[in-house]
Chain A
Amino acid sequence: MTGSVRLPILLAVIVLALLPLGATSNTLLNFMTFALIVALAAQGWNLLGGYGGQFSFGHAAFFGTGAYAMGLLQVRFGLNPWAAMPVAMLLGAAVGWAIGFLAFRARLRGAYFALVTLAFAEVFRILANAWAFTGAAAGLLVPLRLQAANMQFEDKRLFYWLVLAFVASALVLTAELARSRFGARLVALRENEDAARALGVDTLRVKLAAITLSAGVTAAAGGLYAQKSLYLDAAIAYGPWISVDALLAPIVGGLGTVFGPLIGALALLGLGEISKMALGNLFGGALPGIDLIVFGILLILAVAFAPRGLLGLFDGLVRRAKPAQGGEATP
């Protein structure tokens, strides 16, 4: 199992790492960096939603906490971003634990859990938008100091590779988790929570560990986003867009799989960019929200026709092709 996953991870990371060597377009590099940040947030969502079956609609709460922690620790406390990053992840994980503790102890499941996470994200958004400490509605500006020591690079590819390193670590973490005892308990809980509990799984503890880990990974994505754009406001950090992207990518790519979030994020954001360009040209000028319309339709289509995502579709094609090659096609 591990052997079969480690090699694809290595190959995927090598391909993604080589990409900016060939293509030097700034637009493409910006897009790829952003897509990988979303993939990282989605990888975090997948740990809880894909493996644990707990659909959060409010991962913005963790993304935003990571982003604001990264920005505020630098701006208000003068902390080095390399040191701020782990603190941002810990803070995000702590928020995840706290929300999980409240929600799971109240036995919220399904739609109730989705709603309460959404409400928490909205509370954070309103607070960040009103509080002077976070820069309120004006937002937070991280000063530009292009030095590797400040995690700001002259060569944008270095930041891309840094983000890729985070994504690679998250892929390995997911693969390790999937084959661990903890992962098995998490999947058992997703399939049937009552049965899992009857079998002696401490479901509250497993869910709490999953949401804490999930939030920490998503907070790392938030921290990287803050460092990439050097500007934050409440609508960016705690806005519904990241909650939607984080859950959409694994669903489109393949729920509860190692590569689902990465493939989903690349496919989704790529398609979003293409439709923005194509349909924008068609209607003469940019059409706001057109990429999101495509996302929404994609979500419905994925649920309707590809419940196991793009990876599932690919699997199905391979399986259908194989017996045909062997000449023993079944009717």
Chain B
Amino acid sequence: MLQIDILLSALANGLMTGAVYALIALGLTLVYGVLHVINFAHGATLTAAMFAVWAAHDGLGIDPYVAILFLTPLFFALGYALQRFVIGPASHGSDSNILLVTLGLSIVIENALLAAFRSDTRSIDVPYGFSVIELGNLFLPLPKVIAFFASFLVAALLWGLMAHTDIGKAIRAVSREKTGAALSGIPVEHVYAVTFGLGAACLAVAACLLMPTFLVNPRVGNAFVLVAFTIVVLGGMGSVPGALIGGLIIGVVESLSGLYFGESLGQIGIFLIFILVLLVRPAGLFGARA
């Protein structure tokens, strides 16, 4: 009986973390869907957002959930500017160049954080940090429950934005047919930058949801970036529902392999899934067969 309880709580924990993973992957898959390239600086941007949440809480005493209100637009602007003024001009439109430029950006961001904050691990202390919700025999940490529902809310908002607004339609037009969209008067560079901005905004929300239960150090993005890539590949590059379901699957896999193989080997499950999916079905579970 106890065994089943532990298993169930690991499952629930995995699903809740997986929802935030899905939010992180959402930004990555969105950028991939439109620009057809991988943004390698995604993990470093998440780390920067987590440090921003930490700084807002530690320096100004702002609750992470309140920080969502101003960090989201801030990171939208940051993502917009990075694409418009750095990634776009530096890459001359070539795919392999975008890969290298975003790799360079990730190195710069990660090490700027290292220089500023040193390699210490930091966390924040919120009064509800250890609150739990009882569900039968299950004890669910309150911040994780909030993160779970908030992630789905953001995904729904993003879906609404893509489906019903002019910019959403423009993004979809550019992702389908770049030249045609440009010919019909859509400012392609602007749309690219908005897409990057939305990706970074998703990261800001994810960082605010993660910080009450996670730690941050300058290298934390490394772990997240491969998790996000795995989810995106698993769910099919560019697929939003794929990212959601992929996120939940990966969250559960990580939680279960942590339970059975221990903390240090827990991450290996994710990499193995990643390699396996890439080799066997690179189009992902929900993507069209290449």
Residues on A close to B: CB < 8 A? Answer: 53, 55, 57, 102-103, 106-108, 110-112, 114-116, 118-120, 122-123, 126-127, 129-130, 240, 244, 251, 287-290, 292-293, 295-301, 303-304, 307
Choose among A297, A300, A301, A307 the residue with the greatest number of B CB atoms under 10 Å from its CB.
A300
Given contacts A123-B275, A293-B111, A299-B103, contact A111 B264 (CB under 8 A): no
> Contact between A293 and B99 (Cβ–Cβ < 8 Å)?
no
Interface membership of B108, Cβ < 8 A: yes
Which chain A residue has the least Cβ–Cβ distance from B89? A304
Q: Taking the nearest CB of chain A, how far is it from the CB of B247, in angstroms?
A: 17
Q: What sequence of 0s and 1s flags, for each residue 243-266 of chain B, a beta carbon within 8 Å of any chain A beta carbon?
A: 000000000000000000000110
> Contact between A114 and B99 (Cβ–Cβ < 8 Å)?
yes
> Contact between A129 and B90 (Cβ–Cβ < 8 Å)?
no
Question: Can you offer 17 A-B residue contacts whose CB atoms are under 8 A?
Answer: A102-B275, A110-B99, A111-B95, A112-B278, A115-B278, A118-B226, A119-B274, A126-B271, A129-B264, A288-B111, A293-B107, A293-B111, A296-B104, A300-B104, A303-B101, A304-B89, A304-B92
Interface membership of B7, Cβ < 8 A: no
Residues of A within 8 A of B89 (CB): 304
Extra 9 A-B pairs, beta carbons < 8 Å, given A292-B110, A298-B104 = A108-B279, A110-B95, A111-B37, A115-B278, A118-B226, A289-B218, A297-B104, A300-B104, A303-B90
Given contacts A108-B278, A116-B275, contact A304 B101 (CB under 8 A): yes
Choose among A107, A127, A289, A307 the residue with the greatest number of B CB atoms under 10 Å from its CB.
A289
Residues of B within 8 A of A240 (CB): 222
> Contact between A119 and B275 (Cβ–Cβ < 8 Å)?
yes
Residues of B within 8 A of A120 (CB): 275
Interface membership of B157, Cβ < 8 A: no
Residues of B within 8 A of A111 (CB): 37-38, 95, 99
Residues of B within 8 A of A251 (CB): 100
Contact partner, A293, options B100, B103, B115, Cβ 8 Å: B115
Contact partner, A290, options B115, B119, B271, B274, Cβ 8 Å: B115
Residues of B within 8 A of A298 (CB): 104
Residues of B within 8 A of A53 (CB): 96
Residues of B within 8 A of A295 (CB): 104, 107
> Contact between B278 and A57 (Cβ–Cβ < 8 Å)?
no
Given contacts A55-B96, A110-B96, contact A287 B107 (CB under 8 A): no
Choose among B100, B101, B105 the residue with the greatest number of A CB atoms under 10 Å from its CB.
B100
Which chain A residue has the least Cβ–Cβ distance from B103? A299
Interface membership of B112, Cβ < 8 A: yes
- Bound complex: CA of A106 vs CA of B283, how far in Å? 11
Q: Taking the nearest CB of chain B, how far is it from the CB of A232, in angstroms?
A: 18
Residues of B within 8 A of A108 (CB): 278-279, 282
Choose among B115, B229, B272 the residue with the greatest number of A CB atoms under 10 Å from its CB.
B115
Given contacts A108-B282, A123-B271, A127-B268, contact A115 B103 (CB under 8 A): no
Q: Taking the nearest CB of chain B, how far is it from the CB of A291, in angstroms?
A: 8
Residues of A within 8 A of B115 (CB): 287-290, 293
Interface membership of B267, Cβ < 8 A: yes
Interface membership of B91, Cβ < 8 A: yes
Contact partner, A300, options B86, B229, B233, B268, Cβ 8 Å: B86
Which chain A residue has the least Cβ–Cβ distance from B278? A116
Given contacts A111-B95, A123-B275, contact A299 B104 (CB under 8 A): yes
A-B complex: 7 closest residue pairs judged by Cβ atoms: A289-B111, A296-B107, A299-B104, A296-B108, A304-B90, A289-B114, A300-B104
- Bound complex: CA of A71 vs CA of B233, how far in Å? 36
Interface membership of B183, Cβ < 8 A: no
Q: Taking the nearest CB of chain A, how far is it from the CB of B39, in angstroms?
A: 10
Find residues 76-96 in chain B having any chain A CB closer than 8 Å to their own CB: 86, 89-92, 95-96
Interface membership of B97, Cβ < 8 A: yes
- Bound complex: CA of A299 vs CA of B40, how far in Å? 13
Residues of B within 8 A of A107 (CB): 282, 290
- Bound complex: CA of A297 vs CA of B282, how far in Å? 32
Which chain B residue has the least Cβ–Cβ distance from A55? B96
Interface membership of B4, Cβ < 8 A: no
Q: Taking the nearest CB of chain B, how far is it from the CB of A100, in angstroms?
A: 12
Which chain B residue has the least Cβ–Cβ distance from A124? B271
Contact partner, A292, options B91, B107, B275, B290, Cβ 8 Å: B107
Find residues 106-147 in chain B having any chain A CB closer than 8 Å to their own CB: 106-108, 110-112, 114-115, 118-119
> Contact between A296 and B268 (Cβ–Cβ < 8 Å)?
no
Choose among B99, B119, B222 the residue with the greatest number of A CB atoms under 10 Å from its CB.
B99
Q: Taking the nearest CB of chain B, how far is it from the CB of A118, in angstroms?
A: 7
- Bound complex: CA of A103 vs CA of B95, how far in Å? 19
- Bound complex: CA of A102 vs CA of B274, how far in Å? 13
Q: Taking the nearest CB of chain B, how far is it from the CB of A38, in angstroms?
A: 16
Which chain A residue has the least Cβ–Cβ distance from B102? A300
Interface membership of B280, Cβ < 8 A: yes
Which chain B residue has the least Cβ–Cβ distance from A126? B268
Q: Taking the nearest CB of chain B, how far is it from the CB of A269, in angstroms?
A: 15
Q: Taking the nearest CB of chain B, how far is it from the CB of A197, in angstroms?
A: 16
Q: Taking the nearest CB of chain B, how far is it from the CB of A35, in angstroms?
A: 19
Contact partner, A106, options B86, B271, B282, Cβ 8 Å: B282
Contact partner, B268, options A123, A244, A299, A303, Cβ 8 Å: A123
Find residues 51-68 in chain B having any chain A CB closer than 8 Å to their own CB: none
Contact partner, B100, options A103, A112, A292, A303, Cβ 8 Å: A303
- Bound complex: CA of A296 vs CA of B233, how far in Å? 26
Q: What sequence of 0s and 1s flags, for each residue 273-290 of chain B, a beta carbon within 8 Å of any chain A beta carbon?
A: 011001110100000001
Residues of B within 8 A of A118 (CB): 226
Residues of A within 8 A of B265 (CB): 126, 130
